[in-house]
Structure 1
Amino acid sequence: MKQNLKLAVIFCLAFTLSSCTTPLEDYQATSPQLDIQQYFSGKLIAWGMVQDYSSKVTRRFCVELDGQWQDDEGLLKEVFYFDDGEVTYRNWQLTKLKQGKYLGGAEDVVGNARGQQRGFAFQWQYDLLVPIDDDVIKLSLDDWMYQIDEYRVFNRTKMQKFGVTVAELTIFFDKQLPLRTCPRA
């Protein structure tokens, strides 16, 4: 009985803490202004890692990105090179709306991704189909990007199932020239 009560308290605490977030409006007056359309134009590279619920690093990866925009419509091609040799692809179709808002979709995104920019921050939320072992799991992602300078953006993402954070992503984007490439397995 005590064991069940402890588990219930831990679950409630984890659920409560995982639902806390900073309002995007808190970044309104910050700079530099993150312009998604400008930053994700052309080629850039990123490095990242996935951490499980216990903060253990479970995967590392490198991503080569290429973004092209025609007016307010964009295509962002991503090629992921994982440390275990896996290579995956994602093609984002992006639409810039009014007042710093964006819509997007990709092959493994369920429905529309919705994003909004304020100051140096961008919040991007969507449901993603993630292959795990022999199954595909739908996770809700809460992406936060922060522009450091004209070349670098940091990204922190919470991956949640039933409102509980099951993994986190950390990604570092860089578009400083000369542009590097990801190592090939």
Structure 2
Amino acid sequence: MKKPRLLLLAIALVCSACSAPGIEDYADNTPRFVAEDFFSGPMKAYGLVKDRGGNVTRRFVAEINGSWENGRGQLREKFEFDDGEIQYRTWQLVPADSGTQSVRKYTASAGDVVGTSIMSVAGNAVFMQYTLQVPYKGRTINVNVDDQMFLVAPNVLIAESQLSKWGFNVGEIQLTIVK
């Protein structure tokens, strides 16, 4: 009876060692990300879209303008892709109860996002997961997005987004936002 328990314990330890860091793991990192400060005023973003094999399929530049009123934020984004396509997105950010002192949370929604997402902030990190409606071959498909953003300097935010469909990796986005 001891061997199966030891085996289960060993498997649990190995699996926990391989798990991805949570937002709380970044709580002590600086510079501290404050959504109301960073997401205010004009910003410029530069990014790459990669397919599941890691090949760059598109490049883009985005103009972002953030504003806050009565504690609620709005991010207006205009993406210009290298193939001439232009996309617009407007995020609504509303502070939410975080339940902890080290993690601040906001509800986040946009017109092409299915439902409402939770944006979690701790230290220099911002994590968000949502389902994005993406134009694809003349129709719209839902793609799951797992965003991890890190403030690396007071005016520079670097983001990596993993894209998946039915649990399978379909690509990634790398993005740098400069305030």
Q: Which TM-score bucket, shorter chain as reference? A: 0.7 to 0.9
- Does the CA-based 8 Å contact 1:139-1:161 persist in structure 2? yes
- Does the CA-based 8 Å contact 1:129-1:139 persist in structure 2? yes
- Report the 3-state secondary structure (helix = DSSP H, G, I; strand = E; otherwise coil) of the residue aligned with 1:26: helix
Structure 1 residues 52, 20: CA separation in 2 closer, same or farther (over 3 Å shift)?
farther
Normalised by the length of structure 2, the TM-score is 0.84
Alignment of 1:114-129 (within 5 A): 114-129=118-133
Distance 1:21 1:164 in 2: 17
Q: How far does the alpha carbon of each residue in 1:30-50 deviate from its partner, in whole angstroms, 9 at most, with x for none?
A: 111111121010001000010
Flag structure 2 segments of 5+ consecutive residues without an equivalent. 1-14, 99-103
Match of 2:32 in 1: 33
Distance 1:29 1:51 in 2: 31
Match of 2:156 in 1: 152
66-75 vs 91-100, greater mean Cα deviation: 91-100
**Is 1:83 paired with 2:89?**
no
- Report the 3-state secondary structure (helix = DSSP H, G, I; strand = E; otherwise coil) of the residue aligned with 2:24: helix
Normalised by the length of structure 1, the TM-score is 0.82
- The structural deviation recorded for 1:165 is 1.4
RMSD: 1.5
- Report the 3-state secondary structure (helix = DSSP H, G, I; strand = E; otherwise coil) of the residue aligned with 2:121: strand
Alignment of 1:160-179 (within 5 A): 160-175=164-179
Match of 1:59 in 2: 58
Flag structure 1 segments of 5+ consecutive residues without an equivalent. 1-15, 176-185
- Report the 3-state secondary structure (helix = DSSP H, G, I; strand = E; otherwise coil) of the residue aligned with 2:33: coil
**Is 1:142 paired with 2:159?**
no
Identity value in percent: 35
Task: Detail structure 1 runs of 4+ shifted over 4 Å in the superposition.
Answer: none
- The structural deviation recorded for 1:78 is 0.2
- Report the 3-state secondary structure (helix = DSSP H, G, I; strand = E; otherwise coil) of the residue aligned with 1:148: strand
**Aligned length in residues:** 158
